[in-house]
A and B are shown apart, each in its own frame.
Chain A
Amino acid sequence: MSFAVLVAILAGGSAGAAVGRLLRFPVWPLTGALVGAGAVHLSVGGGGALPSWCVFVAQVLVGSAVGASVGPTVLREFRVVMAPGLVAVVVTVGAGIGLGFVLWSINGVSLVEAVFGMVPGGVGEMVAAVASLDGNGALVAGMHLVRLLVVVTFTQAAVRWLQRRGERGSGDGDQEPE
């Protein structure tokens, strides 16, 4: 990839991320940059993947932020709900892996992309892993985007429903709806 194309893709990605933030895309830094860089790539061409040092830098930045978040406070909070929390983590991640295998078997997507596209273990982390396996990060990011849209939309609606039900149940009519 030439230097000019690299700069164009990085600029397109940054602009896409800014637009994604304005439009409140889920995980806007990644999804917005994907759309922006993808648009530049499709219109300019220039082929090939980003240099491997770029991906390495990205992995260090994202990975360091995740690792640093495992602080004493998180561990203390997790201890309160350790048993059910672990069950939730194992079941959720296990369900993602299982669904990835199902997608692979019925849709002909490659196994790496099907599984990493369905494991709910952090979009950036899964895209980074696929990048290091030379898989299709764009496909995996797109799959996670669909999952996040469904999860965030459903959870938001369910939380509002629970709150309305709670207000009705407690007979407290003073609180204003959002």
Chain B
Amino acid sequence: MSEAKGPEGTPPHRGPPAGLRALGGGLAGATLFVLLNVPAGGIVGAVAGSAVASGMRGHAPPRRAVRVVGMVLLGCAAGARLDAGTLQTLLGLALPLLGAAAVLVLVSVALAVVLVRRYGVDPVTALLACAPGGVSELAGFAQDTNARVGIVIAIHVVRVVTAVLIVLPLLVLLLGQP
């Protein structure tokens, strides 16, 4: 029914829509982890299921719109909890948050310097790869500045996957909430 291009410009092929395997794997993983009461099972299971069913086998990822719809739904879920108290808390946190973000930026600069000096990575690639967050924006900068986009994206994907599959369940267990 649909035509889809492969991930690296491979010719179009007929078959199930791109990313159906990933979505199926994600749904199966999330359902399984939720039923097993794994901490934050929805998101952890979806990442694990999709990686096993699709990513590691090199199948085409879901279209960008899939992630966009998911993010909009999450934004709506967060917005539905927005109240005056939350806004007040955020306002009160503004300065400490700016300070914390500045510390994260300094840490990323130090890491980039190590990448440049010890591993011979060019400075722009190193800085973009070590920046703490904003994968889509940073990948865009990497393309605009002729940095090594593959390395930048690889390090950010590994960061997010590590955070979701390892750090997140540990944090949930540590913070003591199911």
Residues of A near any B CB (own CB < 8 A): 1, 9-10, 12-14, 16-17, 26-27, 29-42, 48-50, 54-75, 77-78, 80-81, 84-93, 95-97, 99, 102-103, 106-107, 109, 111-112, 115-116, 118-129, 131-133, 136-144, 146-152, 154-156, 158-159, 162-163, 166, 178
Contacts and interface: CB of A to CB of B under 8 A. Distances in A.
Given A77-B154, A121-B162, A159 B43 contact: no
Residue among B127, B150, B163 with the highest chain A CB neighbour number at 10 A = B163
Interface in B122-160: 123-124, 127-138, 141, 144-145, 150-151, 153-155, 157-160
A77 B175 contact: no
Interface of B: 7-8, 19, 22-23, 25-27, 29-30, 34, 40-56, 58-62, 64, 66-84, 86, 89-90, 92-94, 96-98, 100-105, 107-109, 111, 114-115, 118-119, 121, 123-124, 127-138, 141, 144-145, 150-151, 153-155, 157-164, 167-168, 171-172, 175, 177
A30 B19 CA distance: 21
Nearest to B136: A27
A7 B141 CA distance: 36
11 contacts: A41-B80, A61-B46, A64-B22, A67-B49, A68-B22, A70-B161, A78-B155, A124-B70, A146-B101, A148-B133, A159-B128
B102 A150 contact: yes
Contacts of A90: 162
A35 B161 CA distance: 27
Given A54-B76, A127-B78, A133-B172, A64 B66 contact: yes
B93 to A, nearest CB: 6
A93 B159 CA distance: 8
A96 B158 CA distance: 16
Given A9-B80, A12-B79, A69-B157, 11 more contacts: A58-B74, A59-B30, A60-B23, A87-B111, A88-B130, A109-B93, A118-B100, A129-B43, A148-B133, A150-B101, A155-B105
B89 A139 contact: yes
Given A63-B50, A80-B151, A84-B118, A131 B77 contact: yes
A147 B90 CA distance: 12
Given A68-B62, A73-B8, A119-B171, A54 B101 contact: no
Nearest to B93: A107
A9 B76 contact: yes
A60 B72 CA distance: 13
A60 B78 contact: no
Contacts of B162: 89-90, 93, 121
B124 A63 contact: no
Nearest to B112: A88
A27 B71 contact: yes
B91 to A, nearest CB: 10
Contact of A120 (B68, B98, B104): B104
